[in-house]
Amino acid sequence: MTAEKPVLRVLLCAPRGFCAGVVRAIDAVERALEMYGPPVYVRHEIVHNKYVVEGLKAKGAVFVEELDEVPAGTAAPVIFSAHGVARSVPEDAARRNFFAIDATCPLVTKVHREATVHYKRGREVVLIGHAGHPEVIGTMGQLPEGAVSLVETAEQARLFQPRDTGNLAFTTQTTLSIDDTAEIVAILRERFPAMVAPHKEDICYATTNRQEAVKRVAPEVDAMIVVGAPNSSNSQRLREAAERAGCRHAALVQRASEIDWERFGAITSLGVSAGASAPEVLVEEILDAFAERYTLAVETVHNAHEDVFFPLPRQLRSDAAE
Ligand code: SF4
C-alpha cells in the first residue's frame, strides 16, 4: 500500500508567463519559417528561454549572436529579437543586403523613440537599467556613444553627475523591479527636479502585472517557484519580488529537474509564477513534478486582466498580404 501524499496548497499567479511582445517575437519566427522556409536566422535568443529556442531550432531557426555569423549573400530572413537592437545592427544588415525582420517588442521601441526625442531636444538621457542586458545595449545604441548615462542602482543615482542639471530626461529598461526603479527615480528627482519623465511608465504592463501578482501571493505561501531563465531580467525580478514580499524560499527554475527537493520537499503551500518568456507548458511540468510528491489543491490568484496584442512585424504582414 502506498503512503498517502501530503496536501500542497498551490497558488498560481495570474497573469504569469508569456507577454504580448514574446508571443509576437515567437510568432514572427514561426511565420517566417512557414513563409520562406528554413533556415531563418535569428540574432540573439529571440526570447530568453532555452525551451522556446530549442523548439524553434528544431523547426529550422538558426541562432547567431552577431550578423557576421550569417552567411554572406543569403536570401534567408534575419530576425532581430524582442529585446531590440542598437541602430548600428539594422544599418549593418542593410549594408550586407540581408532581409531583416525586426521583432523588437513595440514597448521597447517606445523607449527607443523616447530616448531619441530627448536627444534631439538636447537633453542628456539617463537610462535606468542593467548593464550588459541586450535591451539596455539596444537602447543605448539608439544614440551616439556617450549620449546615454546608465544608472543601475540607488547608490549610482546618488552619485550621478550630469553635464547640465537643468537639461535631463530619464527612460528605463522595460523589465525592472517596480520598487527599485521607484527608489532610483525618487533620488534622481530630488536631486534634479527639472528632470523630464516618460509620458507613460517604461516598465511594461507585463512586468508590472507579474510583479504585483507575485507580491500578493508570496506572503501567503511557504515557498515560491518562478519559472524562467537566469538571463531573463523580468524572471529574476519576480524571484526577488517574492523574497522581498516575505517568502523565505523563492527559486527561479527553468525545468522541473532543477527543483531543489531539500527546500521544496516538505512544504504545505507553494506560489507559482512564470517570467514573460516562459511558456505555460513549463509551468505544467513543474506542477506535475510537485503532483508526484503531493496531492495538489490548486487555486488561481487573479491580479489583472491582460488583453494586449501586437500585430506581426510589418515586413511579415506585407509579404503575407501579397
Ligand atoms: S516583457 Fe514587456 S517589453 Fe518585454 S517583450 Fe514582454 S511586453 Fe515587451
* The C-alpha cell that represents 73 in the structure block: 549573400
83 is in an annotated binding site: yes
Please indicate if the annotation marks 48 as binding a ligand. yes
Annotated active-site residue in 66, 135, 201, 240: 135
Q: Is the peptide bond before 198 cis (omega within 30 degrees of 0)?
A: no
Q: Is 111 in the pocket of ligand 1 (CB under 6 A)?
A: no
- Residue appearing with cell numbers 511540468: 285
Q: What is the pLDDT of residues 23-64, one digit of tens each?
A: 999 999 999 999 999 999 999 999 999 999 999 999 999 999
pLDDT digits 0-9 by tens, 9-18: 999 999 999 9
> Measured in angstroms, how far is the CA atom of residue 165 from the centroid of ligand 1?
31
DSSP state string for 202-239: SS-HHHHHHHHHHHHHGGGSSEEEEES-TT-HHHHHHH
52 lines ligand 1 (CB under 6 A): no
* 7-18+205-302 CATH fold: Cobalt-precorrin-4 Transmethylase; domain 1 (3.40.1010)
- Does domain 20-105 bear CATH number 3.40.50.700? no
Q: How many CA atoms lie within 13 A of 134 on its CB side?
A: 22
In sequence order, which ranges of the chain are alpha helices (DSSP H)? 20-36, 50-59, 88-95, 106-120, 134-140, 154-159, 178-191, 205-217, 233-244, 261-264, 280-293, 314-321
Tell me the pLDDT of the chain (322 aa) as tens digits: 567 999 999 999 999 999 999 999 999 999 999 999 999 999 999 999 999 999 999 999 999 999 999 999 999 999 999 999 999 999 999 999 999 999 999 999 999 999 999 999 999 999 999 999 999 999 999 999 999 999 999 999 999 999 989 899 999 999 999 999 999 999 999 999 999 999 989 999 999 999 999 999 999 999 999 999 999 999 999 999 999 999 999 999 999 999 999 999 999 999 999 999 999 999 999 999 999 999 999 999 999 999 999 999 998 998 777 7
Report the amino acid identity of residue 45.
E
Site to probe by mutation for ligand 1, drawn from 18, 108, 238 as the one with most ligand atoms within 8 Å of Cβ, is 108
26 lines ligand 1 (CB under 6 A): no
Helix or strand (DSSP H, E) at 167:
none
Query: CATH 3.40.1010.20 residue ranges in the chain?
Result: 7-18+205-302, 107-191
85 CA distance to ligand 1 middle (Å): 14
Three cell numbers at 112?
527607443
Check if 135 is active-site: yes
Instruction: Give me the DSSP letters along 75-114.
Output: -SEEEE-TT---THHHHHHHHTT-EEEE---HHHHHHHHH
Q: Is 105 annotated as a binding residue?
A: yes
Question: Does the predicted TM-score (pTM) go above 0.85?
Answer: yes
Burial class (CB in 10 A: 0-12, 13-18, 19+), 301: middle
- CA–CA distance from 173 to each of 204, 240, 260 (Å)? 9, 17, 31
Per-residue DSSP letter, 196: B
Residues of the chain with CATH 3.40.50.11270: 20-105
Atom of ligand 1 nearest to the CA of 20: 7
Between CA 311 and CA 315 the distance in angstroms is 11
Burial class (CB in 10 A: 0-12, 13-18, 19+), 68: exposed
Q: How far apart are CA 172 and CA 150, in angstroms?
A: 9
133 is in an annotated binding site: yes
Assigned architecture for domain 107-191: 3-Layer(aba) Sandwich (3.40)
Contacts of 161 (CB under 8 A, 6+ apart): none
